[in-house]
Structure 1
Amino acid sequence: MFLTNRDAVELAEWRRGLHRMPELSGQEAGTARAVQAMLAAAGADHVLAGLGGHGVAAIFEGAAPGPTVMFRAELDGLPIQELSEAPHRSGVHGRAHACGHDGHMAMLAALARGFGRQRPQRGRVVLLFQPAEEDGTGAAAVIADPAFAAIRPDLAFACHNMPGLPFGAVALAAGPANCASAGMRIVLSGRTAHASAPETGLSPMAAVARLMPELTALGGGDWLAPDFAMVTVTHAALGEPCFGIAPGQAEVWCTLRTLNDARMQRLRGQAEALARQAAADTGLDVGIVYQDVFNHCENAPEAVAHLRRACEAEGIPHGPRGLPLRASEDFGRFRQLAPSAMFLLGAGEGRPSLHNPDYDFPDDLIAIGARIFMRTARDILGPAEAEATPQATPAPAPEDTA
């Protein structure tokens, strides 16, 4: 085991410091500073900051040439008001680390300690702390950053904690791991009128009433089949909240979801055709905007094989239970660069779900996830485990910005 008891205590405290200061996608400046301070204390060979926004990457060089192996965590929190009495609860109103990204960062902080004490034999390890995962823009921004070319991986790995799975158990399988999804915003524009003379205007009411069931009906298919699709209407607005004006504008928001990217392209085309036809039939103008766009995550067999061997070496139970997820993850973009794989790490069957206001990452998962990552790196790059010493330099606690 490459972590000491002291490490475990300090990493948990560091994680709780992050938990107190959640920042939203694209706003993670304070979190990035805390990560940079931790990496400097751990002795990273190089630290890149400002990747794709507030992203941070640490590089640990091996003595001999070899592949680049990347491990990724996420920086951002959620626009959720935390409901907790924990001493480390969020100190920022309306913001919370309710997805466990603080715990994922702590796993990589554990790796930084391990590789700071002893480098891999060959190649190099990259620890990427990625911004803006929750809105689907972060991975694309990191990859597009010119500085990322210097750390382009040959293999990439990630983990996501998962309430509902037995504590410490791993869900892992080759093939689809997370769905593709896209947020579709349909804007229908007509002309307002006095409520006593609606015939003098052009109301989008009929188009909205038609579109919501039509869009939902595009979904269907066996959940695990390539043709699976789901459309969820998440928001609709019609006119102004008053009694004297017949509406002239409306919006329908929906989330499109498929098991793979090819099916997503077809689903987008089908949804757009419905919106345009409804507008044409009622004389309305229509605009369509996409946001929160996620590619599907595909676990490469060769990357999965490394994680399986790591779980077996560490005595951690693993299997395909719970995969693929309907939820999306923008780690899927890294598969365009290199074989990649993400595993789910069980947070316990009795815990609140992800994105619930009372969810808090369990500290005891930090060491389990870190062990899997470290064993994976050792399998690929050679031993990187030194005798752990109780005098190891502690990672600094993040500044509390509450």
Structure 2
Amino acid sequence: MFLTNQDVVELTEWRRGLHRHPEISGEEVETARAVQTLLTSAGADRIVTDLGGHGVAGIFEGRGPGPTVLFRAELDALPIGEISAAPHRSRAQGKAHLCGHDGHMAILAALARGLGRQRPQHGRAILLFQPAEETGAGAAAVVADSKFREIAPDFVFALHNLPGMKFGKVALIEGPVSCASRGMRIVLTGKTAHASMPETGVSPVNAIAQLMPALTSLGSGGPMSESFAMVTVTHAQIGEPAFGIAPAHGEIWATLRTMTDAGMDALVSKAEQMAKDAARDSGLSVEILYSDVFRHCENAPEAVAHLRRALDAEGVPHDRGDLPMRPSEDFGQLGANAPAAMFFLGAGEDHAALHNPDYDFPDDLIAIGSRIFMRTLRDLVG
């Protein structure tokens, strides 16, 4: 074990400090500053800041040429209030680390301490603290940043804690591990009328009523396979809260989800045509907007092989678990540029679920996660 007992105590407190002061996607200023301070104290050879927003990358150079190996954690918290009596509970109203990104950062902080004491024999290690994972915008912004070309990796690794799975066990597979998804917003516009004479206007009511079940019928879920598709209507709005006006404006929001990016392209085409047809039939204009766009996340076989060797060497139990999974992860953007793999680390079968208001990252995972990452790194660069 490369961490001392004192390291574990200090990293746990560092994690809890992040938990007290969460910052949501795009606002991670103080979190990034805390990471920079940590990387400086650990002795990083170089620190890249403002990467794709508030992203931070710590670079630890090896003694000779070799591969660049990148490990990623996320900076952002969620816009959800926390329900907790813990002394380190969130002090930010309506914001909290309820996905465990504070714990993922602590795992990379542990790596930084180990690398500060013993540099790689060859190549270099990159510790990337990525912004805005929760919105799907962060990884794409990092990759698009010109500074990312300076640290272009040969391998990329990440983890995510997973409640509902036995504590300390790992789920890992090759191929798709999490779905592509995107938020689709359909805006319909007609003409208002007096509520007593609705025939003189153009209302979106019928189109909205038609689209809600029709969109859902495009994908109702089912087994996780290449053909998996799901459409979930998340919001609908028609007109103003008034009794005297027949509405002119309507919106319907839906989350589209598929196993692969190719499947998403096909689903988007069908959903857009459905919206256009409904608008045409009711004499409405239509605008279609997208947000929270996530590519599917795919584990490269060669990257998975390195993780499996590390898990076996460290005696960490692993299998495929329930993978692939429905939730999305923007790590897929990083995997488009180098062999990449993400594994899922069990947080306990009875642990509160991700995004629940009573969730908190299990501190005992810091040592386990960092040990797996460090073994993976040493096997690659010595």
Higher relative contact order (CA 8 A, sep 6+): 1
1:27 and 2:27 matched: yes
Alignment of 1:92-103 (within 5 A): 92-103=92-103
DSSP-derived class of the 1:311 partner: helix
Partner of 1:112: 112
Task: Report the aligned-residue RMSD.
Answer: 0.7
Alignment of 1:304-319 (within 5 A): 304-319=304-319
Alignment of 1:321-360 (within 5 A): 321-360=321-360
1:370 and 2:365 matched: no
For residues 314-348 of structure 1, what are the alpha-carbon distances to aligned partners after superposition, in whole Å with 9 as ceiling and x for unaligned? 11000001211100000001111100000000000
Q: CA deviation at 1:245?
A: 1.0
Alignment of 1:255-334 (within 5 A): 255-334=255-334
Q: Is the 8 A contact 2:224 2:325 kept in 1?
A: no
Partner of 2:187: 187
Q: CA deviation at 1:194?
A: 1.2
Alignment of 1:104-183 (within 5 A): 104-183=104-183
DSSP-derived class of the 1:122 partner: coil
DSSP-derived class of the 1:251 partner: strand
For residues 19-77 of structure 1, what are the alpha-carbon distances to aligned partners after superposition, in whole Å with 9 as ceiling and x for unaligned? 01111111100100000000000000000000000000000000010000000000000
DSSP-derived class of the 2:78 partner: coil
Q: CA deviation at 1:172?
A: 0.4
What is the distance in 2 between the residues matched to 1:293 and 1:370?
29
Q: Is the 8 A contact 2:303 2:341 kept in 1?
A: yes
Q: CA deviation at 1:241?
A: 1.1
Counterpart of 1:244, as a letter, is G
What is the distance in 2 between the residues matched to 1:131 and 1:8?
25
Q: CA deviation at 1:200?
A: 1.2
What is the distance in 1 between the residues matched to 2:17 and 2:225?
42
For residues 234-288 of structure 1, what are the alpha-carbon distances to aligned partners after superposition, in whole Å with 9 as ceiling and x for unaligned? 0000111111111110000000000000000000000000000000000000000
For residues 354-381 of structure 1, what are the alpha-carbon distances to aligned partners after superposition, in whole Å with 9 as ceiling and x for unaligned? 0000100000000100000000000100
Counterpart of 1:48, as a letter, is V
What is the distance in 2 between the residues matched to 1:344 and 1:378?
20
**Structure 1: 5+ residue stretches without partners:** 383-402
Q: Is the 8 A contact 1:204 1:250 kept in 2?
A: yes
Q: CA deviation at 1:223?
A: 2.3
Runs in 1 of length 4+ with deviation above 4 angstroms? none
Count of aligned pairs: 382
DSSP-derived class of the 2:67 partner: strand
What is the distance in 1 between the residues matched to 2:130 and 2:254?
26
Q: Is the 8 A contact 1:303 1:339 kept in 2?
A: yes
Partner of 1:388: none
Q: CA deviation at 1:193?
A: 1.1
Partner of 2:12: 12
What is the distance in 1 between the residues matched to 2:314 and 2:236?
49
What is the distance in 2 between the residues matched to 1:161 and 1:262?
27
Counterpart of 2:287, as a letter, is G
Alignment of 1:379-394 (within 5 A): 379-382=379-382
What is the distance in 1 between the residues matched to 2:151 and 2:130?
13
Partner of 1:80: 80
Q: Is the 8 A contact 1:195 1:245 kept in 2?
A: yes
Counterpart of 1:362, as a letter, is P
Q: Is the 8 A contact 1:239 1:249 kept in 2?
A: yes
**Structure 2: 5+ residue stretches without partners:** none
Which TM-score applies when normalising by structure 2?
Answer: 0.99
Partner of 1:202: 202
Q: Is the 8 A contact 1:221 1:227 kept in 2?
A: no
For residues 129-185 of structure 1, what are the alpha-carbon distances to aligned partners after superposition, in whole Å with 9 as ceiling and x for unaligned? 000000000000001110110101000000000000000000001011100001000
Partner of 1:46: 46
DSSP-derived class of the 2:123 partner: strand
DSSP-derived class of the 1:336 partner: coil
Q: CA deviation at 1:222?
A: 4.7
What is the distance in 2 between the residues matched to 1:350 and 1:333?
31
Q: Is the 8 A contact 1:184 1:288 kept in 2?
A: yes
Sequence identity (%): 68
